[in-house]
């Protein structure tokens, strides 16, 4: 899977006539080997430890590029930080967010997706993407 994304990104770069650089490789590795919901800042800080000369702007621009290439997706949990998550081909998942400890659980539910399509259809919409986030308290935090 990591392999696939690297390959996908390499192809995207090539097809667009862009350049493959050391920084992009480093950032991609860091992104792929991380938590699935990193903010730009978190990734930047993580990188800075080993690669102190990589600039914030590069991380910023590279993440945008990941999103454009389809291997990442921008998400907003409304805490004022843009995050990027991994996108596996064809896969889609939603989020369960613990408002107490911040844990994020991913889930999928086909029935919900089907109902969403129905809702959209009834309003003459064709869905491109969707976002479903459930906020609540996880079991651990309730104890």
Residue ranges in contact with a copy of itself by CB under 8 A: 74-76, 78, 96, 98-99, 105, 107, 109, 111-112, 115-116, 119-120, 123-139, 142
Task: Say which residues have a Cβ less than 8 Å from residue 54's Cβ, sequence separation at least 6.
Answer: 23, 26, 27, 44, 47, 48
By CB under 7 A, what part of segment 28-67 binds DNA? 39-41, 53-58, 60-62, 64
Pick the closer one to DNA by CB: 19 or 50: 19
Pick the closer one to DNA by CB: 34 or 58: 58
The CA distance from 42 to 52, in Å, is 14
Pick the closer one to DNA by CB: 36 or 113: 36
Beta carbon of residue 30, minimum distance to a copy of itself (angstroms, whole number): 24
37 binds, among a copy of itself, DNA, none (CB under 5 to 8 A by kind): none
In angstroms, what CA-CA distances link 135 with 71, 101, 143?
Answer: 26, 11, 17
Joined tokens for residue 46? 């993580």
128 binds, among DNA, a copy of itself, none (CB under 5 to 8 A by kind): a copy of itself
Task: Say which residues have a Cβ less than 8 Å from residue 87's Cβ, sequence separation at least 6.
Answer: 70, 71, 72, 73
Beta carbon of residue 79, minimum distance to DNA (angstroms, whole number): 8
In angstroms, what CA-CA distances link 3 with 7, 27, 71?
Answer: 6, 15, 12
């Amino acid at each position: 899977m990591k392999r696939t994304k690297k390959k996908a990104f390499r192809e995207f770069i090539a097809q667009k006539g862009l350049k493959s650089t050391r920084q992009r490789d480093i950032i991609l590795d860091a992104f792929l080997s991380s938590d699935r919901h990193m903010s730009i800042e978190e990734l930047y800080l993580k990188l800075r430890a080993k690669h102190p000369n990589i600039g914030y702007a590069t991380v910023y621009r590279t993440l945008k590029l990941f999103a454009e290439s389809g291997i990442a997706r921008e998400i907003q949990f409304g805490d004022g930080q843009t995050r990027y998550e991994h996108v596996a081909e064809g896969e889609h998942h939603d989020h369960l967010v613990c408002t107490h400890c911040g844990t994020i659980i991913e889930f999928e539910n086909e029935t919900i997706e089907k109902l969403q399509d129905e809702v959209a259809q009834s309003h003459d919409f064709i869905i491109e993407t969707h976002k479903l986030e459930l906020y609540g308290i996880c079991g651990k935090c309730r104890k």
